[in-house]
Amino acid sequence: MKAMRPLTLVIIAVLAAGLALLATAATNRYSMATPVLPVSALVTMGVIAVLTLVMGIRVLRWRNGKKKTLLNPIMAARTLILAQACAYAGTLLLGWHAGIALDLLRIGTLRSGEGILWNTLVMGGGGVVMLVVGLVVERFCRIPPEDFEGGTTGPETRRGESKGEGEYAYRGD
């Protein structure tokens, strides 16, 4: 799997903030409730973040050699996928609630939405926690490069050269 790119996460957050601004404008126009998650969703976000962190620590302990048992590769792959999903979900939640907070700050003098503003800030903070946990656990799942003899990462071959005979047939003395 490829590592997450920070630019992709920023684009997702900006798009989510833009959609949240549009959704908040639409709900305000039709006198509907502001589309923000309730504070009770923090419990679910916390459980996901803790589960991801615990699974990531298991992979990290195995990677650092502190566990003598063999790591199940399926569990390691699932941990990586969970970490990336956690980071993407955190980015989406952060962007959405940041967009709503921007709209509430813009029209803050027109209505008293301080309770909703604090709710969006808390939920955005939960998104940041999920994002950070996802990125950290993704780093836990990386395997360091192996150290081969001679200090290189592998045999260097040029295009059209065979890997097996290249070193034996010609030694660059």
pLDDT tens for residues 63-75?
888 777 888 889 9
**How far is C-alpha 91 from the chain's CA centre?**
7
**How far is C-alpha 117 from the chain's CA centre?**
25
Helices marked H in the chain: 6-29, 41-63, 73-106, 114-140, 166-169
pLDDT for residue 28: 86
Checking if the pLDDT of 158 tops 90, the result is no
Q: What percent of the chain has pLDDT over 70?
A: 78
For residue 96, the tally of other CB atoms under 10 A from its CB is: 27
pLDDT for residue 87: 97
Those residues with Cβ within 8 angstroms of residue 55's Cβ, 6 or more apart along the chain or in another chain: 75, 78, 79, 82, 137
pLDDT for residue 146: 58
**pTM check: above 0.75:** yes
Helices 41-63 and 73-106, interaxial angle, to 10°? 140
Checking if the pLDDT of 163 tops 50, the result is yes
pLDDT for residue 18: 96
Checking if the pLDDT of 2 tops 50, the result is yes
Q: Please give the Cα distance from 94 to 116 (Å, whole number).
A: 15
